[in-house]
């Protein structure tokens, strides 16, 4: 049985979810001891240099197309910088499962809100499962935010100000990621491949991170580092850069709706991994929030996938421009 491009895209997306879940738990612990901006600057700096040089040699036409799309390039870099600055700080402040759930949930919610103008009111009835699923995701995010602020989650570094900051940073990071996915799809439609997209997206984050290192915004005592810094950078390449590249490959093969929905399933894996790690206490309230969230995510996955197939089917039956699958 031959594997279809869509199945390959799903495999890439699932690989992204697993590595992101591992990253949320492991980096949440690691960043208590090292400067997150310093690691980010090295990991994303090496990614930028490597991918840009490779693109210049192998994909010069795509590189020119990318540089011509200046508005997308600037917007994508802004959203990526916002995503990672907020995410790296959030996992240090509150429970990783809560961070990842809020972050992941804002991706399909943000995608749905930004695409809502493409859907007519007459089609909402056929999208009932998706609407219910997104509503449950929204309720789960509110529930997890409340238990974090009230001190009933598994971990908060400090009092309620830290909890509030962690929740807000998670919300911002997830919303920015929804923009990243949609912008990446638009860029791909203009002929910009995954290697170039992956490399050029860090041009804003790198100087911001270097400035943060210089100012000591997230500085930690040198003695607290658990291992040599080059080893930390190598680990960062595996658990930060690799999943992002897998996601970029997935964007070329499956729709943004399906990517957003599958990404929303990751928090359950984070919860299991953080229990295995043992640093975070078991919190029944967090598990309750995750249960609500997972039901909503599964409904959203089904609703989005069915709607995507319906639109693809419709596009094959007619050549009228308004009937085609609209770009994301």
Q: Following DSSP, what letter does each residue of 142-165 receive, concatenated?
A: HHHHHHHHTT-SS-BSSSHHHHHH
Q: What's the pLDDT at 325?
A: 29
Q: How far apart are CA 255 and CA 304, in angstroms?
A: 9
Q: What is the pLDDT of residue 318?
A: 39
Question: Is residue 68 helix, strand or coil?
Answer: helix
Note whether 97 and 253 are within 8 A (CB). Answer: no
pLDDT of residue 43: 92
Question: How much is the pLDDT for 316?
Answer: 41
Low-confidence ranges of the chain (pLDDT < 50): 117-118, 120, 311-328
Cβ atoms < 10 Å from Cβ of 180: 26
How many other C-beta atoms can be found within 10 angstroms of the C-beta atom of residue 65? 16
Cα separations in angstroms, 61 against 55, 68, 204: 9, 11, 23
pTM for this structure? Answer: 0.80
Distance separating alpha carbons of residues 156 and 167, to the nearest angstrom:
11
pLDDT at 125: 58
What is the pLDDT at residue 73? 94
Please give the backbone phi and psi of residue 153, each rounded to the nearest 5 degrees, phi first.
-85, 180
Contact residues for 281 (Cβ-Cβ < 8 A; gap 6+): 154, 155
Q: In angstroms, rounded to a whole number, what is the distance separating the alpha carbons of residues 241 and 198? A: 9
For residue 115, the Cα-to-chain-centroid distance in whole angstroms is 18
**pLDDT for the residue numbered 224:** 67
In the prediction, which pLDDT does 1 show?
66
Give the pLDDT of residue 302.
67
pLDDT for position 111? 82
What pLDDT is stored for residue 120 in this prediction? 47
Q: What confidence score (pLDDT) does residue 305 get?
A: 54
pLDDT at position 213, please? 93
């Amino acid at each position: 049985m031959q594997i279809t491009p869509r199945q390959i895209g799903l495999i890439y997306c699932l690989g992204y979810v697993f590595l992101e879940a591992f990253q949320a738990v492991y980096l949440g612990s690691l960043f208590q001891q090292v400067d997150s901006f310093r690691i980010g600057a090295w990991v994303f700096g090496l990614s930028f240099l490597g991918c840009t040089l490779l693109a210049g040699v192998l994909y010069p036409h795509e590189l020119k197309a990318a540089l011509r799309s200046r508005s997308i390039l600037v917007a994508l870099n802004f959203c990526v910088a916002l995503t990672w600055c907020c995410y790296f700080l959030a996992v240090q402040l509150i429970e990783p499962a809560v961070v990842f759930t809020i972050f992941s949930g804002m991706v399909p919610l943000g995608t749905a809100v930004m695409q809502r103008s493409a859907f007519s009111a007459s089609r909402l009835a056929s999208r009932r499962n998706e609407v219910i699923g997104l509503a449950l995701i929204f309720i789960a995010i509110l529930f997890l935010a409340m238990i974090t602020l009230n001190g009933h989650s598994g971990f908060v570094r400090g009092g309620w100000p830290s909890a509030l900051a962690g929740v807000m940073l998670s919300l911002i990071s997830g919303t920015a990621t929804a923009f990243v996915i949609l912008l990446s799809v638009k860029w791909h439609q203009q002929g910009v491949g995954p290697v170039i997209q992956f490399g050029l997206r860090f041009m804003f984050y790198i100087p911001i991170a270097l400035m943060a290192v210089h100012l000591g915004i997230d500085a930690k005592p040198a003695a607290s580092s658990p291992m040599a810094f080059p080893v930390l950078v190598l680990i960062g390449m595996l658990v930060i850069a690799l999943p992002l590249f897998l996601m970029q490959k997935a964007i070329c093969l499956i729709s943004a709706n399906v990517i957003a929905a599958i990404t929303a399933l990751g928090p359950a894996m984070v919860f299991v991994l953080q229990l295995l790690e043992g640093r975070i206490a078991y919190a029944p309230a967090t598990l309750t929030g995750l249960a609500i969230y997972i039901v909503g995510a599964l409904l959203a996955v089904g609703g989005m996938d069915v709607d995507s197939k319906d639109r693809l089917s419709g596009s094959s039956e007619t050549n009228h421009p308004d009937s085609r699958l609209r770009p994301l």
